[in-house]
Copies of this chain bind each other. A is one copy, B any other.
Amino acid sequence: MRGKSISSERFSSILSPIREELRQVEARMGQALITDEEPLTAILRGLFISGGKRLRPALTILASKFRRSEASKVVALAAAVEMLHTATLVHDDMVDNSIMRRGNPTLNAAWDDGVVVLVGDYLFARSAALSAETENPRIISLFAKTLMLISSSELREALNIQKPNQKDYYWRISNKTASLFAAATEGGALLSEAVEEEVQALRSYGYDLGMAFQIMDDILDFTGDEEELGKPIGSDLRQGVITLPVLYFLEEDPDWGSVERILKGGEEREEHIHSLVTRVESSGAIRSSQAEAQGFTDKAKEALSVLPANEYRQVMLELADYLMVRRS
């Protein structure tokens, strides 16, 4: 618990220059989640109270800060980004039969699949309506295409098309995670009077930050603390998802049998998962994966060099460094 609170204090402190805007995003989301149906409003509110870092809306706000922008549209877009993210999590948790997220039971732990699907759909629609408030067709199109990338990468996983190799791993995290980080920063930039070079720089920052973020997430699934993470260690393996640490581990020690045993399931599956987690954790695979994440982080920070050296650029640099050392 100590680790968690230190970690989130540092995060809040980095984002303090945009604290007021983040508060407005919370208010905008709270308002957008009121429906005519009390049970639905309660479900939606529960989803958003259970939290999350609000990292993606923070990126939208930060990216809008380099040139003049209309505050209410930035807030609407930031809220739309977080809602789109939450909608994809709701459907993902159902697809993966996950019962815990961020230390709380998932929606599908309490409701049947039909309700979960429709709540996700409602959030997609709500998010699209918020993004339409920007009245910017390029942003709306960017949003729609991001959702296409996310759902097609999830489908590739569900249809078992992905191959356990680095090329496929990067394709997947690019579509699943980095695409939305990139849309968050590009969208924020487009709402300001940023020139195209700046828009592209902010998009690149978001994209590479997203790649680093996902690799770190996949590392934490081996090295993290269950209480801090709010979910069990080895969740990816348990869901049959092969991430970068496992791919590096297999380069060192091509023991495919131990992975296949887990993918096939069977009686001693939990023991096999536990054993593989321990072996990956103590191998060089973690360090190699961290080096990859660091590469993306460096690239993200580098992209910011074309932007004015103001307070917000400093926040984005610190944020990139923080995400490399986060524990949850």
Contacts and interface: CB of A to CB of B under 8 A. Distances in A.
A301 interface: no
A129 B152 contact: no
B122 A124 contact: no
A154 B119 CA distance: 10
Contact of A151 (B122, B144, B156): B122
A77 to B, nearest CB: 13
B114 A158 contact: yes
13 contacts: A37-B155, A37-B156, A39-B161, A40-B152, A91-B118, A95-B118, A121-B124, A121-B151, A125-B148, A125-B150, A125-B151, A133-B141, A137-B137
A94 interface: yes
A132 B121 contact: no
Interface string A108-130: 00001111011111101110110
Nearest to A134: B137
Given A129-B144, A152-B36, A95 B122 contact: no
A143 interface: yes
A118 B152 CA distance: 8
A140 interface: yes
A208 to B, nearest CB: 22
Contacts of A141: 129, 132-133
A194 to B, nearest CB: 20
Q: How large is the interface on A (under 10, 10 to 19, 20 to 34, 35 or more residues)?
A: 35 or more
A114 B95 contact: yes
A128 B151 contact: no
B117 A94 contact: yes
Given A114-B94, A140-B132, A141-B132, A37 B159 contact: yes
A147 interface: yes
Contacts of A95: 113-114, 117-118
A35 interface: yes
Contacts of A137: 132, 135-137, 140
Nearest to A136: B137
Contact of A155 (B40, B124, B161): B40
Nearest to A123: B151
A152 B91 contact: no
A43 B37 CA distance: 35
A150 B133 CA distance: 20
